[in-house]
Structures are given as structure tokens and as C-alpha cells.
Amino acid sequence: ATVSRMGIIFLSQEDVEPRHVVESYAASRMSDEARERVVPWINEHAFPLINAAIEQGTFSVETPRMALVNATLAHTEAAANLSDFTCRLMRALSGFMPVEEQAAFAAKVFQKTGVSPANRDCVLDCYFDAEKNRDESFAQPHNVAREVDPGQLTAATRGEIPMVRTFEVQRTLKTLEPLIAGEEGKPFFLVGPEGCGKTLVLANCFNSLKSVRIATINCSAQTTSSQVIQKLQQQCSVFSTSTGKVLRPKEADRLVLVFKDISLPKADKYGTVMLHSLLQQLLLYRGFYDDDLEWVGIERVQIVGSMTSAASSGGFPMSPRLLAIVNIVTIGYPTDASLKLVYQAFFSGLVRSALFADGRQYDDGKELAVCAVSVYNKMKKRFGGENYRYCVFCPRDITSIVLNALRYDTTGSSLDAIFAHEAARIFTDRLPRAEDRVKAQRILAEELATLGHTFQKEGQPLPIYV
């Protein structure tokens, strides 16, 4: 009865003019100097590139036009010059695309603005250094193999895993830089395959900030909006203001709500995901109605999520309304070269620890890293695809080998023997069929031979180390 007495105006995506959004954002959030500098660049360069990205249509998640516009504004509002603007725009728009598509689109961005990249071989690694006032390219840290010391490995067994700053890590941190800056930061979702390091990147990002409190919600199909409100009430204090009740973080300047696997909550029979609807309300209106139907505002709360693509994780499509108001940053697995550097640093810390310092050093851990990455790649290639969907191999498995080695009594045991046992437990035991386990043991035997270790014959039980 109520709807029958009302008029309905339908606004399609084509009816909304992005230029008005840019003008409104610039008028309310940019200084006069920044507005005069950045808005003409957005009109001249960003809009054609946004249209090109939509025509290309290769996004890691469903992406409305307004999401690209909002991301452009979030990244480029502090651009100092055209070179800085180009690098920021490249990171803003390529973040919505799968990793394999990002380099090609980044080249289009530099071609459109006419800026010459500092590194033509990998334009994604280019950035503008404000201190040096020139374009730069990310460089590998000096002596990266020694970035992880034995003490950090011990802390990693408690969940504090160190992060090696490879090219991919530096690129991701630079992309997140404008999204975590400011009093409240900006909402964003980190998208990537399972075990690629999303949680590790987020932890290191926010640990670098002062007075920030992180609250994590592990989402499932049954996660609802009430759990989010409960978490807010636990982590915040209630203040009375002239506009009503307001929740502010306890003992911190900012509260970061991290939603792991945010695409998992299931829609109800009406097609609505209550969690996503609440997050949309919190981002747009900065508050919610409590059980007494009283409006409660929130201040200094940042919404962050991590997810894999819905198809690969068993998740559900995200609401376009929510995706339109958050930034998307897509990451992937490290390259083989980066994996070897990362795990050389980990194995170097392991061989220098008190447990293994008197034993063989394996070229400061490099031999173990090369062997581990080779085993991982061969296992992933051999036992991948639809027939092995239940068995997902990721770099996290190599990390488990390193950390599990710290639990052993090394009396009478060599590190390569411990490596062999842990690799067999992690890679072989998850295969249910006997013939697959034999094939996996054959792969292990071939790779362990490069370390001078003789693996047990196929079919024989492996020794157990206690």
C-alpha cells in the first residue's frame, strides 16, 4: 500500500555523471591548490582510462564504474605532479585487475599521460619519490637473505611471521599507503588466492602505524551483522555528543575492523547479505541503529577485508553497492625468484639458530630454499586442477616446514632429514590415494637428492621424529 502511493526513479549506471562526483569530492576534501592541480588531470587522463578498463572487463571482482572513480580520487588526491599522478593512477586502477593483467594496463596508463616510466621492464615497480623529487623504481633490499634472524623465527611460531620486502611486497605496500593514511584511513578489500600473504601484508601495514588497534572477524556462511555490532561494542567506548551516542576506539586513535574471507557470508532468501548491508551503512552514514532503535554513530573506525575470488573459495558474489564504495587491491603469489629469496631468508635464519648453528649451513640456506620451492612447484603442478580441488598447495606450506623444524630435538638428526620428514607430512599426507602418495614421494626423492639426502624407497613407511 505504501509503495503504490510513491513514485520510483530508476537511475542506471550510465545516468550518473562521474564528473559531478569528482567535483563534489574535490570541493569537500581537497585544498584549493590540490583541486586546481588534480581535477584537470582526472578529467583528461583518468576518465578515458576508466572507460578503457570497463571495456576490457577483466576485474578480479565485479567492479562498478563508481568504484573506479572513488579509487582514483582516494589515490590521486595528494599527487604532487603529473609523474606522481600517473604512478598513483596506475596503482589505483590496476589494483582491480588480476595480477596477470596489471602490467599491460599499467603500460596503457603511462602511454595515456605521456610520462616516461623509470623502469620500462616493469612499470608496476615505478613510483614518485617525494623526498628526491624524481621517479624511482623499487629495488631489492641489500642482503635480503639475512632479513630474517633466528629470533624472528621463534616469534613466528607464535604467529608473528616476518615479511621479506620483495618487489611484490614493496608494490603492495605502496598501493596501500594512501588507503591507511589519515585519521580514519579508507575502506579497502585485499583480494588474492589462498595463502598468498594477505593477512601478513595487513598485519605489517597496520603495525607500522602508531596507536592503531586491530580487531579481526573470521567470516563464514553464518556471519551476521549482529556479530559486527558486538565487536564494535567490545572494542569501543560510548560517548554522548550533541548528535547522540558515538562509539570511539578504546585506548587507540583508530580501530581497524579486519574481515577475513568477507565473501563467505550467505545471502538470505531475499538475496540480501546482512553483513554487507551493515558495512555499506557504516561506510556511508557512519553509524547504525541499536536494539532500542536509537542511532549510534562511529568515529575513527576503518573497514578492511580480505577475500579470494568467489569462484575459487566457495564464496558468494559481493554486493555492487558495497564494492562501489571500497577500494580493491589485488595481489597474487610471488614469482619463483621472489619465493627463493623469501625462503632463503627463512632458511638462513633457521641454520643460524641455536639448534642448527653447528651443522651444515647449506650455502646460508640457499640450497634448502631452492629445493623447497622446486618441491612446491612440482607438487602444485602435478596435483592441481579439478581432480585435486581438495588439495590446495600454497607458499604457506614452505613456511610450515621452516617453523616446524624448530620443534625438533636435533640430536642425531640432520636438517635435511627433518626437511624430508616435514615435506612428506605437509605435501604427501594430504593426498588420499596411495598411487598419488607414491608419485609425491618420488618428487620428494628427486629433489632431496640435490641436498645429498637419500629418501626412503617408494611404499616404505617414513621415519617419525619426535
Residue 384 has pLDDT above 90, yes or no: no
Compute the residue count for the chain: 466
Give mean pLDDT, residues 169-185. 93
Residue 463 has pLDDT above 60, yes or no: no
Q: Report pLDDT digits (tens) over 236-279.
A: 999 999 889 999 999 899 999 999 999 999 888 888 899 999 99
Check residue 84 and give its pLDDT.
Answer: 96
Greatest CA separation for the chain: 84
Positive or negative, the CA dihedral 25, 51, 47, 99 is: positive
* Rounded Cα distance, 185 and 9, in Å: 34
Which position has the higher pLDDT, 85 or 459?
85
Using an 8 Å Cβ cutoff, are 84 and 344 in contact? Answer: no
* Rounded Cα distance, 364 and 368, in Å: 9
Q: Which residues contact 2 (CB under 8 A, 6 or more apart)?
A: none
Number of neighbours of residue 84 by Cβ within 10 angstroms: 20
Check residue 392 and give its pLDDT.
Answer: 86
Check residue 432 and give its pLDDT.
Answer: 87
Please state the separation of Cα 283 from the chain's center in Å. 20
| In the block, residue with C-alpha cell 567535483 | 23
Give mean pLDDT, residues 200-226. 91
- Record the cell numbers describing residue 435, joined without a space: 598411487
Using an 8 Å Cβ cutoff, are 93 and 109 in contact? Answer: yes
Using an 8 Å Cβ cutoff, are 427 and 447 in contact? Answer: no
- Record the cell numbers describing residue 352, joined without a space: 643460524
Check residue 217 and give its pLDDT.
Answer: 95
Which of 293-302, 313-322, 335-344 is least confident? 313-322
* Rounded Cα distance, 383 and 281, in Å: 43
CA angle 211, 212, 213 (to 5 degrees): 120
Residue 462 has pLDDT above 70, yes or no: no
* Rounded Cα distance, 19 and 43, in Å: 8
Instruction: Output the CA–CA distances (angstroms, integers) from residue 461 to 428, 429, 437, 438, 455, in the order listed.
Output: 12, 12, 11, 11, 11
Mean pLDDT for all residues in the chain: 89
Q: Report pLDDT digits (tens) over 82-99.
A: 999 999 999 999 999 999
Check residue 87 and give its pLDDT.
Answer: 96
Q: Report pLDDT digits (tens) over 329-352.
A: 999 999 999 999 999 999 999 999
Q: Report pLDDT digits (tens) over 33-42.
A: 999 999 999 9
Q: Which residues contact 254 (CB under 8 A, 6 or more apart)?
A: 183, 184, 185, 209, 211, 212, 213, 300, 301, 302
Burial 341-365 (b: 16+ CB within 10 A, else e): bbbbbbbbbbbbbebbeeeebbebb
Residue 27: band (very low, low, confident or very high) from pLDDT cuts 50, 70, 90: very high
Q: Report pLDDT digits (tens) over 92-143.
A: 999 999 999 999 999 999 999 999 999 999 999 999 998 899 999 998 777 7
Q: Which domains does the chain have, with CATH numbers?
A: 18-137 (no CATH), 184-331 (3.40.50.300), 336-451 (1.20.920.30)
